[in-house]
């Protein structure tokens, strides 16, 4: 669906566009000013983007986020990016939500804190360092 929107085959309330990204209003506005940022190259998740492509998305999010702040003056701005069904991704094209936030706006983002012991956290960190050194 986003590929067709990027190609201009579907209508969209476009906010910003450059060579690599497109920002447009989310049809399901959580709060006024809710914008989606997509990379123009189809990639199902963030993990299929290159580092430069991911950076392009964040540059656009930063620029559009400043515009959201100026136009809507929300006391908060949430960036949400989900990858895969288990992470609640509902569209198979990498995208980033910019959601203006207000006190008592009904948006809830909760998860159970597991608070593992320090040795377990150190093991997690070691595993990630090892994965980073291989890439």
Angle at 80 (CA atoms; ends 72, 27), nearest 5 degrees = 60
93 tagged catalytic: no
* CA-derived radius of gyration, the chain: 17
Annotated catalytic residue: which of 34, 39, 93, 95?
95
56 and 20 Cβ atoms separated by less than 8 Å: yes
Which strands make up the sheet holding 21-25, listed edge to edge? Answer: 14-17, 21-25, 35-39, 95-101, 76-80
Give the residue numbers marked as catalytic: 95
């Amino acid at each position: 669906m986003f590929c067709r929107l990027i190609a201009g085959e579907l209508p969209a309330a476009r906010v910003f566009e450059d060579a690599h990204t497109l920002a447009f209003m989310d049809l399901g506005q959580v709060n006024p000013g809710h914008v989606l940022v997509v990379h123009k190259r189809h990639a199902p998740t963030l993990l299929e983007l290159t580092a430069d492509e991911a950076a392009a998305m964040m540059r656009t999010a930063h620029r559009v986020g400043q515009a959201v702040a100026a136009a809507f003056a929300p006391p908060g701005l949430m960036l949400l990016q989900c990858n895969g069904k288990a992470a609640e991704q509902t569209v198979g094209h990498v995208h980033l939500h910019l959601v203006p936030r207000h006190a008592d706006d009904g948006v809830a983002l909760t998860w159970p804190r597991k608070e593992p012991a320090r040795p377990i956290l150190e093991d997690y960190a070691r595993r990630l360092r090892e994965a980073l050194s291989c890439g």
